[in-house]
Amino acid sequence: FLGIDRALMATCRALHAFGFVLLLCAPMAAIFSRSGDMASSVSRLGTSILRTNRVASLSRLSRRLHHARLVSAGATISASTPDAKRVLVCIADGSEEIETSGIYDTLIRGGVDARLVKVGGDDKADLKCKMSRGMTFVADSHLDDLSEETEPFDMVVLPGGLPGAQAFASSPRLLSMLKDRKDKGQWYAAICASPAVVLEPNGLLPSKATCFPGLQDKIASQLSNDPSASRVVIDSDSKVVTSQGPGTTMEFGVELLSILVGDEKADEVAKGLLIKRAAVPA
């Protein structure tokens, strides 16, 4: 990467010099041309090159400064390793942006190999998802193209948001995967609308859970705990983690890390995110 960066710097310097040369040539072009069109064209070209080169240089400088701020602040982003835990973070049209990005970011910080996987859609080659508030996310792959036999993973996570959660509930492939994980005692997790919209109607909700406060009446009768009492609930017997919504996303993600890579790493990430762990083990 260092060699590439140096080459880009050299190219920018050359373009910068060329832009100045064009600007200096503009008066000469006016002298030898009967009209000012040539001079104007040369001047515009030189100005355009300088402006474009300046934007590229500022963009590169901004990235360097951002990296420097992270390093100086002591922030750490752990790169996943070949033996890292693998997690599927499902998304669909209408999934919640804060929850999706917060879960993904927190897992990455803990060294987990997190993958965004699209659920639903008519075209499997189109991995774009228009989220619940209008942002566009691009998945790494489509759920229908994955196989647990060739690519085993350690957890499946469902962000909330509507109609994203409804898309999850309408996916036979996803429901089959979740039911298989339940039967095998493998971890899965859901936040916000997904516990009530996806897990509860399909027999996947554990006896202790929570969800978005506005939907808690849909799951309360099946629970042995008060769903409003906890921001994150871990049902260790059922191997299911649930949480309430956008404002509990980071805590939710940190508790997923505690399960996947241990409390030490979870505490480290929580400290870097300036949050306190809030899970209630069931």
Exactly one of 90, 129, 192, 211 is catalytic; which is it?
192
Two structure tokens written together for 149: 């036999």
- Rounded Cα distance between 22 and 185, Å, is 69
The CA-based angle 183-185-186, given to 5 degrees, is 110
Strand partners, 191: 243
Measured distance CA(282)–CA(272) in Å, rounded? 26
Annotated catalytic, 12? Answer: no
Distance separating alpha carbons of residues 2 and 9, to the nearest angstrom: 11
SS3 state at 79: coil
Among 168, 236, 177, 244, CA closest to 208: 236
> How far separated are the first and last CA of the chain, in Å rounded?
47
Q: Give the pair of three-digit tokens for residue 279.
A: 């899970």
Contact 75, 272 (CB under 8 A): yes
Residue 95 near residue 161, CB atoms below 8 Å: yes
Residues serving a catalytic function are 192
